[in-house]
Structure 1
Amino acid sequence: MKIILTGATGVLGSHIMYEILELFITTKIDGKLFIIARNKGKKSALDRINELLSSSYTPKIIKDKEIVKLHEYIEIIDTDLTEIQDTFSSQIKGAYFIHSAGFVNLSTDEEQREKIFDENTKITKSIFNLFHPFIKKFIYIGTAFSSGNRNGLIDNNFHSLGFKPEHRNAYENAKFHSENFIAQECKKIGLPFQILRPSVIGGKMLGNENQYFISKYMVFYLLAKFFHFTSQRKGDQENVRFIVNEDTVLNIIPVDYVAKVIVNTFEREDIEQLNIVHHKSFNMVNGLQLIMKEVGYTNFTLIQNSLDFKYKNTIEKLYYESIGKHLNPYFTTAANEYDTTLLNSILEIPKLDQEAFTNMIRYARLNNFKDINV
């Protein structure tokens, strides 16, 4: 079995790499994992992958294998995705291609729109056009939020909606555009494909190893990070108002669960689209209260959407002119849930209740919200 993986140094991609290697090790599959990665500063692609294979957070089953033996399964294609060229078509012929690399950026700033599109859609199109003649199947890792601002029950099919989704930012739009491109092009040439869409990714929850670990703190973690450090400032806490609808929810799913589902699904011929999401989304009001309690910021107020919203103090201004303006569309979005019948039949969805959510935030706080940059 041959598998090509992009994004192996990323939050989700690294866990997909671990799951693929575990699959090769435990099933004794004659497998080869081609990892497309680039150097970063003084670190070569090989250095970066080796760090992921030998760190304190590497799964035990991977770490117990010597690096030399792990590299019997791995071949690194050291190149930037924007500069990739075909010099290895004979090696990858018949491979499954898992495209996990992406540029997660929830910015609503217009000047960021083109960059977000290029880093997601333009690169995806280039990769597909280069690789499709040689591969067995193209698996695109999208986002459940490419469904846009929708209420009610959302199923797995985003390609025959009968309406144009109302996206909250350029990232959602770029991911939606990318997956539609993949679906249309694959159907034209008869190439099997999958669109697998995780929701907001949280820390690990399967097993007992490194519970709640995540390598980079994004989305709801960013809010927690902002108020964690703000709570440590000298002086009284200034009141911050959050504009949030009472019924708005945020769907969160553990990173290791997403990776395991992807590796359990990519060979299946009966699945073209799948949302990898929790069966019950987290109420945003409850989530905000849990976050603020855990990080020790007590002076806040929840208000309904205000058309005439003017900052009342420095902290409120700092928040809304940084991460707040990008997160705010998710605080006032329509309430929805996802149909997880198919997903739960693949792998039982772990319970993510208030205690587990608090533990995710606590893990981040205890680790000072420090990202791991490989």
Structure 2
Amino acid sequence: MKIILTGATGVLGSQIMYEILELFIKESIDGKLILISRSKGKKTALDRINDLLSSSYTPQILKDQGLEKLDQYIEIIDTDLDAVQENFSSKIDGAYFIHSAGYVNLSTDEQHREKIFDENTKITKVILNNFHHLIKKFIYIGTAFSSGERTGIVENDFHNLDFVLKHRNAYENAKFHSESFVAQKCRDLGLPFQILRPSVICGKMLGNENKYFISKYMVFYLLAKFFHFAAQRKTEQENVRFMINEKTGLNIIPVDYVAKVIVSVFRRDDIQQLNIVSHKSLNLVKGLELIMKEVGYTNYTIIENAPHFEYQNTTEKLYYESIGKHLKPYLVSSAKQFNTTLLNSILEIPKLDDETFTNLIRYARLNNFKDVNV
């Protein structure tokens, strides 16, 4: 079996890499994992991958194998995604192609739109156009938020709807455009494909090994990080008003669960679209309360969405001119839930209760919200 994986140094891609290697080991598969990765600074792609395979957060089953054994499963193509050449054809011929690389940026700033599109949609098109005739199946890792602003129950199919999706930012739009291209292109070619969409990814929750670990803190973690450091200042805490729809929630799913589901289903022909999400979204007011309690910031107020909003202090201004303006469209969104019947039949969905969410934030706080850079 040959599998191509992009984004192996990323938050989700690294966990997918771990799961594929575990699959090869546990099922005694004569497999080859081809990683399209690139050098970064003084580190080659091989250096970066080896760092991931020999770290304190590498799964024990892989550490027990050792780098020499693991390297026998791996082939690295050290290049940018849009620069992969045809001379790699023999290496990737007949492989499953899992495209996990992406550029997560929730910015609503117009000047970022082109970069967000290029890093997500343009590169996806280049890859599929160049290599569709060589691969066995194309698996695109999207996002559940490419559904955009929705209400009610969201099903797995985003491409046979009787209405046009309304996206909240360029990232959602680019990811949806990408998966639309993948679906149409693969249907035209008769190439099997899957679109797998995780919601907001949090730290590990399955088992006790490296529990709550995540390599990069994003989305709700960034809000926690902002107010953690705001609470450390010696000055008095300034009141911050949060515009929140009190009925809506944030759907959060553990990174190790997402990776296990992807590796469980990529060979299945009966699944073309799948949202990898929690049964129930975490209520945003409750989530904010748990975050602020854990980071020690107590001076805040929940208000309704205000079209004309003037900052009342420096902390509020800093928040809304940084992460706040990107998070606000989600905080004021309508309430929705996902149909998780199919997903739960594949692998039981872990429950995210108040205690677990607090533990996720506590883990990040105790690690000073420091990202792992490879």
- TM bin (shorter chain): over 0.9
Q: Could you say which residue in structure 1 is the equivalent of 2:144?
A: 144
AA matched with 2:213: F
* Cα deviation digits, residues 123-156 of structure 1 (max 9, x gap): 0000111111100000000000000000000000
Deviation at 1:162, TM superposition (A): 1.6
Deviation at 1:308, TM superposition (A): 2.1
Q: Could you say which residue in structure 2 is the equivalent of 1:216?
A: 216
Report the secondary structure of 1:212's partner residue: coil
The answer to whether 1:293 aligns with 2:293 is yes
Q: Could you say which residue in structure 2 is the equivalent of 1:369?
A: 369
Alignment of 1:7-18 (within 5 A): 7-18=7-18
Q: Distance in 1 between matches of 2:142 and 2:241?
A: 32
Report the secondary structure of 1:118's partner residue: helix
* Cα deviation digits, residues 152-201 of structure 1 (max 9, x gap): 00000000112111101000000000000000000001000000000000
Q: Distance in 1 between matches of 2:372 and 2:92?
A: 30
Which consecutive residues of structure 1, in runs of 5 or more, have no partner in the other structure? none
Q: TM-score, normalised by structure 1?
A: 0.99
Q: Could you say which residue in structure 1 is the equivalent of 2:234?
A: 234
Q: Could you say which residue in structure 2 is the equivalent of 1:307?
A: 307
Which consecutive residues of structure 2, in runs of 5 or more, have no partner in the other structure? none
AA matched with 1:55: S
Deviation at 1:340, TM superposition (A): 0.3
AA matched with 1:122: K
AA matched with 2:71: H
Report the secondary structure of 2:65's partner residue: coil
Task: Let me know the Cα RMSD of the aligned residues.
Answer: 0.5
Deviation at 1:309, TM superposition (A): 1.0
Q: Distance in 2 between matches of 1:336 and 1:58?
A: 35
Identical columns (%): 75
Report the secondary structure of 2:139's partner residue: strand
Q: Could you say which residue in structure 2 is the equivalent of 1:112?
A: 112
Q: Distance in 1 between matches of 2:24 and 2:370?
A: 32
Deviation at 1:82, TM superposition (A): 2.4
Q: Distance in 2 between matches of 1:164 and 1:231?
A: 42
Q: Could you say which residue in structure 2 is the equivalent of 1:78?
A: 78
Deviation at 1:307, TM superposition (A): 2.0
Q: Could you say which residue in structure 2 is the equivalent of 1:204?
A: 204
Q: Could you say which residue in structure 1 is the equivalent of 2:174?
A: 174
Deviation at 1:91, TM superposition (A): 1.9
Q: Distance in 1 between matches of 2:291 and 2:85?
A: 45
Report the secondary structure of 2:86's partner residue: coil
4+ runs deviating over 6 angstroms: none
Q: Could you say which residue in structure 2 is the equivalent of 1:356?
A: 356
Report the secondary structure of 1:145's partner residue: helix
* Cα deviation digits, residues 8-58 of structure 1 (max 9, x gap): 000000000000000000100000000000000000000000000000000
Q: Distance in 2 between matches of 1:52 and 1:181?
A: 32
- The count of corresponding residues between Structure 1 and Structure 2 is 374
